[in-house]
Structure 1
């Protein structure tokens, strides 16, 4: 990979770390923190949240007609999302074992925690469950597919790609035939090592 592209990829990782630290500072300002995987709110924050809760009946009264009428269509998407979740999990359980690639830990991508926010009513909590799960499944499947892409075809596209996964920046340049033949095995070996480092709970089987 050209040095300049490698530097830019490293800069993206550095900026992500800086963003994470800024998010942590914002959390402290809002009165909560994570302590060994558990949410902790400062004294009085939970009571203040509950005072700001809008009851389900009032929430429905404020909802516009378009929101109510489209709700069944929105929630019907849960069926294909459930199928994708199950099928992707089966796929990596079988194929990643065959490729000796560490499996993606699902719990790192599908995070359900917004129900602990006292200012959300029952309908809002249900909406959040739906969005948390659906977006988590998309992120989970993307990680599975990015590992698959690195294993089988670590080649960049000729055309610009919007928001590619992070491994993409290290892929071979489009048209680099010699590099592909010479380095495909290297990419596969690196994937096994990198995936292990990225997800300590996932072990090659």
Structure 2
């Protein structure tokens, strides 16, 4: 990878870190604090959230009919999602120690905290929890697969690909065969470090 690309990637990484800090600072000003796994709002905010909560019958009548009709299809996806979760977790538990790849922490990707939002009714909280699980699971799977790809084949594609994982930018350029085996070993050694 040439020096210009390496410099741009380093600047992007620094900006992502800066953005994460700024977002955290903004969240701190939103009148909540994180205590362990629990999120606590100021009492005035909690009261306002309770006031804004939509009752079940209003929520049901305000829901779009297509949302209610497609609900069984959406929620039936829990079966393949749970199977993927079990499969990818077993794969990581069995194979990552053999490859000496640091394990992906599931809790870093699957975050279920929307149940603390008192302006959501029970059904909205359930929907939010389901979506958070599904989106978090896909992110968790993506990181496990990204580490696997880095271990076995850290080479970019010749064609542009949408939705690249965060590790992809550091991969070797397509067709760059110089010292491939040595550089592959460097990628593998980097995976052993805890992130």
TM-score (norm 2): 0.94
What is aligned with 1:176?
176
What is aligned with 2:111?
111
Where 1:39 maps in the other structure, the secondary structure is strand
**How far is the alpha carbon of 1:3 from its aligned partner?**
1.2
- Displaced runs of 4 or more, over 3 A: 35-38
What is aligned with 2:22?
22
Residues in 1 aligned to 2:182 and 2:25: alpha-carbon distance in whole angstroms:
46
What is aligned with 1:201?
none
Aligned-residue RMSD, C-alpha = 1.4
State whether structure 2 residue 150 is matched by structure 1 residue 157: no
Where 1:93 maps in the other structure, the secondary structure is helix
Unaligned runs of 5+ in 2: none
What is aligned with 2:96?
96
Where do residues 1-205 of structure 1 align in structure 2 (5 Å cutoff)?
1-193=1-193, 196=194, 198=195
Residues in 1 aligned to 2:28 and 2:93: alpha-carbon distance in whole angstroms:
39
- How many residues in Structure 1 have an aligned counterpart in Structure 2? 195
**How far is the alpha carbon of 1:154 from its aligned partner?**
0.4
**How far is the alpha carbon of 1:35 from its aligned partner?**
4.2
**Deviation readout 1:99-139 (Å, 9 max, x if unpaired):** 11121111111110000100000110110111010001001
Residues in 2 aligned to 1:50 and 1:179: alpha-carbon distance in whole angstroms:
62
**How far is the alpha carbon of 1:94 from its aligned partner?**
0.7
**Deviation readout 1:58-95 (Å, 9 max, x if unpaired):** 10011121111111111111111100000000001111
Q: Relative to structure 2, which stretch is displaced further, 95-104 or 21-30?
A: 21-30
Determine if contact 2:100/2:191 at 8 Å carries over to the other structure: no
Q: Relative to structure 2, which stretch is displaced further, 134-143 or 174-183?
A: 174-183
Residues in 2 aligned to 1:59 and 1:43: alpha-carbon distance in whole angstroms:
25
Residues in 2 aligned to 1:111 and 1:28: alpha-carbon distance in whole angstroms:
18
Unaligned runs of 5+ in 1: 199-205
